[in-house]
Structure 1
Amino acid sequence: MKVFQLAGSLRTETGKKAAKAIRNNNSIPCIIYGGETVSQFTVEKEAVRKLIYSPEIFLVELTIDGKTCKAIMKDLQFHPVTDAVLHIDFLEVFEEKPIVIDVPVVLDGLAEGVKAGGKLSLEMRKLRVKALYNNVPEQLHINIENLALGKTIQVGQVAFENLEVLSGKNNVICAVKLTRAARGAAAKAGK
């Protein structure tokens, strides 16, 4: 997992007025929980841009007023109209304690069904997994070379080392669907 360095400063004032003043000052109010204490702090808006607007997952090394801890971004709140970031929640992680996180899915290979004229459809871009943060990969690779026309790969059919997949076992990760051209060719071959 990639590491993202982030510096913040503790905040003493809480509430709606304080949060609005923080946002007007080009900062974002944040909270970190999961450890011994809950801390409220602020970070610069530009400092978290790459962390927020990226499909990758990061282990965040937070430095809050000189104290460093490791965390992951757990929740993110956006303004409903302007899409400005309103608040970020961080979950402190420890080496011996498992975390639950969504990991991006990458499909490897060219499916047999695609070679036969089908269309590959990625239904789930991320899978929710539970593991120690040292064992969480940046991406989950799934081999689709043997995926035939009209077939699917479900969550229950894949397994990963040192990970427990929490997404529903019957959820479809990807499928090779018949196209109109493939249906027409099959109908002509059948006549």
Structure 2
Amino acid sequence: MDNLSLEVESRQEVGRTAARRLRRTGKVPGIIYGIQDPIPVTVNPKELESIFSQGAGENAVFQLDLAGEEKADRPVLVKELQRDAMNDQIVHADFLEIRMDQQIRISVPLTFEGESVGQKMGGVLSVLLRELEVECLPNAIPEGFSVDISEVDIGDVIHVRDLTLPGEVDLITGLDDPIFTVIVPVEEEEEVPEEVEGEEGEVAEGEAPEGGEAEASADESEKKEE
């Protein structure tokens, strides 16, 4: 845990109105789950973000200190984090109290490094899986799994079985699950405008109307007979 700790306060008021009022003070609501009954708490979101920047991202294991409580040993990790869709700021945090000697199941994000051969040839990277579910001891939780995509060509499909994971991590996600592929971009077909036929009876420029020559000849014949 690298001596990471976060101090929170017990919260008596619950509900949407109380949560909005709390957020106006710069704090956010949270709940501690796990070994004991759920405990509503008040959290400083800036201090929580600081924990993420020092540890294993949002999978960081740290000490949660509840103000006014004598209990000193409460290791936790973030069970669920809610962020504002507009500014990405934390609006609610659920903590899971854990035992350091027991394995836990957790989702670890995947990151993709480099540019694939297929992309250099005009292909498009299609990501099908963005995290892996694993089981391990709390101290062995990875911050993420890095995947080198530089040798992947168009049409190649990389599966979970193609990755090399740390020995202290047990994989839960299926080995045959596809992670990503490089596909040929779909070209949009140009729309060919349909030819607009002229209205019935309309004569193109420079063309004589049907029967025009016969009518002209008849007129000339009449003039000669006069």
TM-score using structure 2 length: 0.62
What is the CA deviation profile of residues 102-160 of structure 1, one whole-angstrom value per residue up to 9, with x for unaligned ones?
21213356645456654444333322222211221112133445534301112244352
Distance in 2 (CA, whole Å) between partners of 1:114 and 1:103 is 26
| Alignment gaps of 5+ in structure 1 | 182-191
Determine if contact 1:60/1:73 at 8 Å carries over to the other structure.
no
User: Rg: which structure is higher?
Assistant: 2
RMSD between superposed Cα atoms in Å: 3.6
User: What are the residue-to-residue correspondences of 1:102-141 with 2, within 5 Å?
Assistant: 102-108=107-113, 111-114=116-119, 118-141=123-146
User: What are the residue-to-residue correspondences of 1:26-175 with 2, within 5 Å?
Assistant: 26-50=26-50, 56-57=57-58, 58-65=60-67, 67-78=72-83, 85-108=90-113, 111-114=116-119, 118-144=123-149, 146-160=151-165, 161-175=167-181
Query: Structure 1 or 2: larger strand share?
Result: 1
Distance in 1 (CA, whole Å) between partners of 2:143 and 2:21 is 36
Distance in 1 (CA, whole Å) between partners of 2:183 and 2:3 is 38
Determine if contact 1:3/1:59 at 8 Å carries over to the other structure.
no
1:16 Cα deviation after fit:
4.1
| Alignment gaps of 5+ in structure 2 | 188-226
* Paired residue total: 181
Q: Is 36-45 or 23-32 further displaced after alignment?
A: 36-45
Percent identity (aligned): 28
1:33 Cα deviation after fit:
1.1
Name the CA shift for 1:13/1:119 in 2 (closer, same or farther; >3 Å).
closer
Determine if contact 2:61/2:139 at 8 Å carries over to the other structure.
no
TM-score using structure 1 length: 0.71
